[in-house]
Amino acid sequence: MEDLARRRMRAQELLDDPVLMNAFDKLEEEALKELLKTENSWFRNVDLKRAALIHKIAAIKALRQELHTVILSGKIADYPRVVGA
């Protein structure tokens, strides 16, 4: 039980950390700006860049959501690890 409470507290500390949240905000904002600058194209490298930016934004959102989940449940989700991501 102590372990769950400790995880909840730690997740809340991370979400309350202004430096960490500012870093998340900045990364997400920069990726979104870059994504909006890229145009749809039949060039493969542009499509790959857009996909990478979309994945970056999704990863940031997923990490924030996971911290909220830990606060609510005290448990860390068992996600498969992606090698090289």
Q: Residue 30 belongs to what H/E stretch?
A: helix 18-37
Q: Check pLDDT > 70 for residue 56.
A: yes
In a domain, 48, yes or no: yes
Helices and strands in the chain: count of H runs, count of E runs: 3, 0
Supply the pTM of this predicted model. Answer: 0.71
The number of distinct structural domains making up the chain is: 1
63-72: pLDDT as tens digits: 999 888 888 8
- Residue indicated by tokens 């449940």: 73
In a domain, 78, yes or no: no
In a domain, 82, yes or no: no
CB atoms closer than 10 angstroms to residue 53: 19
CB-CB contact of 51 with 70 (8 Å): no
Range of the domain at 9: 2-73
Q: Is 81 helix (H, G, I), strand (E, B) or coil?
A: coil
In a domain, 27, yes or no: yes
In a domain, 81, yes or no: no
23-54: pLDDT as tens digits: 999 999 999 999 888 876 666 778 888 899 99
In a domain, 26, yes or no: yes
